[in-house]
Amino acid sequence: MTSASASSSAMAVIYDMSELKCTLNVDELDVKNVKTGQKVTITTDVTDKEYTGVVENISVNGTAGSNGVTTYPVKVNIIDFDDALLPGMNVEANIIISSVHNVLAIPVSNLNRGNTVYVKGDKTEENDKAPEGYKTVSVTTGSSDGEYIQVFSGVEEGEILYSTAGTGNSMEEMMQQSHERMKDSAGGGSGGRPGGGGM
């Protein structure tokens, strides 16, 4: 008597498209800033639209990479997806860990070590090493998006700062450029794949 072994394979996979999620691998240095409920901005190469998601779960089961850095899976619920976004697509995402609006901000490149900037004006100290026509001023800083940084004190709107290019940047011009751009972000990078909400 012989017995035939039948190999099992799925006849069909059914996706529940009533919800769409993606999983981001967040660096060990950034994961401490990620919290459930935080907003996530999501983009993909297949469309110009920016989608919105919310952090749903942060796993403590990290995976060590070949570079020695551990990453942690962060599950994001995409709340405004459309037909252009499909399961299996690669997405790029940024988790917004804080945001500020209508604040005084300067380019990070204008900030020197020790939280100082060069402001147009006459020097008040003999050992001031600021460029000619500028003086060194200490500033108190806050949130940064990597390009601009919030300034609480030390400079005022309308003052001119010395830039690395050697030209002055008006604080009014910088305020316009940095309007609603002051966001700290963590996570992201390509590789997050949206998945259907069920089988």
Confidence of residue 9 (pLDDT cuts 50, 70, 90): confident
- Between CA 87 and CA 13 the distance in angstroms is 12
At 65-124, the pLDDT tens digits run 888 889 999 999 999 888 888 888 889 999 988 777 888 999 999 999 889 999 999 998
pTM of the model: 0.57
Residue 168 confidence (pLDDT) = 52
DSSP-derived pairing of the beta strands 92-99 and 39-44? antiparallel
Does 144 or 53 have the greater pLDDT score? Answer: 53
Handedness of CA 158, 159, 162, 164 (dihedral sign): negative
Residue 176 confidence (pLDDT) = 46
